[in-house]
Amino acid sequence: MRLVLVGPPGAGKGTQAEFIAAHLSVPKISTGDIFRANVSQGTPLGVEAKRYMDAGKLVPDEVTINMVRGRLAEPDAAEGFLLDGFPRTTPQAAALDKLLADLGTALDLVMELVVDDDEVIRRLSGRRTCRGCGKIWHVEFDATTREGVCDRCGADLFQRDDDKAETIAERLVEYAHKTAPLVDYYGAQGKLVGIDATGPVEDVTVRAIDALRSYG
C-alpha cells in the first residue's frame, strides 16, 4: 500500500506512523526525520534545512522533492510506503503524483489526522524524543519519561529545537497556509479519509487500522 499521513504539527503522525507502517509491513518515510538526521550529521542538506526548521518554516519544495525522489527510489519502497510529513504543499503533492505515475503506480490513500490547535500545543510542548531509538514520548502522558530516559532502549530523551512556543505558532501558520489545501487536493481525487486523532494513542491507532480495513 502507498499511504500518506497528513495533519498539523503534533497531530500524532510520527506516533501513528510507527504502528501503521508495522501493520502494513511497509517502510515509514518521514521527511522531518530525514532532515533531522542530516542536521545532526552536519551535511549540506542539513545545514540548509536547519535554517527553515528552526524558524518553523517549510524547507523549499525543490530541495524536499529531490530528497523524497531519492528515498522512494530505494528498493524497500518499491512495493509500498507510508509517507509521514510529505507532501506538505500542493506542488509537492503534484510532484509525488507525477513521480508515481512515471513508475506506473499511484497513491492508494491519504489519511488526515484531525486535532485542534489547543491539543497540538499541549502535545508539542510536552514531546520528548529518544536519542537512541527515536521513539516519541510525552511528559504528561508517558509517566516513565519524567526520568528523562527511554523506556524501550534506556537512552536519554531530548526536546526538539522547533518545539518552542514561538516556533510552534509559526509551524501552525505554515500548516494553515500551505498544507491544509491538500485536504481539498486529495478530497477531489477521492483518496482522503479523515481520522479523529483525539483521545489515547491506542484509540487513534484502532481508528486508523479500521479505516485501512474498510479501504480493503
For binding to Zn ion (CB under 5 A), which residues are involved? 130, 132-133, 135, 150, 152-153, 155
Nearer to ligand AP5, 15 or 45 (CB): 15
- Shortest reach from residue 27's CB to ligand AP5, in Å: 16
- Shortest reach from residue 56's CB to ligand AP5, in Å: 6
CA dihedral of 185, 114, 119, 50, whole degrees rounded to 10: -40
- Active-site residue, from 127, 128, 135, 207: 127
Nearer to ligand AP5, 108 or 142 (CB): 142
186 CB-near residues (< 8 Å, 6+ apart)? 4, 6, 93, 110, 192
Question: Do residues 68 and 81 touch, judged by C-beta distance below 8 A?
Answer: no
Told to check if 53 binds ligand AP5 by CB under 6 A, we report yes
Give the angle 171-177-179 at the CA atoms, nearest 5°. 75
Give the angle 179-181-187 at the CA atoms, nearest 5°. 120
> Rounded to whole angstroms, how far apart are CA atoms 135 and 132?
8
- Residue 132 binding result from ligand AP5, Zn ion, none, given CB thresholds of 5 to 8 Å by partner type: Zn ion
Give the angle 1-17-164 at the CA atoms, nearest 5°. 145
Is residue 160 part of the annotated active site? The answer reads yes
For ligand AP5, the nearest residue by Cβ is 32
Told to check if 137 binds ligand AP5 by CB under 6 A, we report yes
Site for ligand AP5 in 181-210 (CB under 6 A): 200-201, 204
> Rounded to whole angstroms, how far apart are CA atoms 128 and 137?
5
Nearer to ligand AP5, 165 or 216 (CB): 165
Told to check if 81 binds ligand AP5 by CB under 6 A, we report no
Question: Do residues 8 and 115 touch, judged by C-beta distance below 8 A?
Answer: yes
Site for ligand AP5 in 144-183 (CB under 6 A): 162, 171
Told to check if 110 binds ligand AP5 by CB under 6 A, we report no
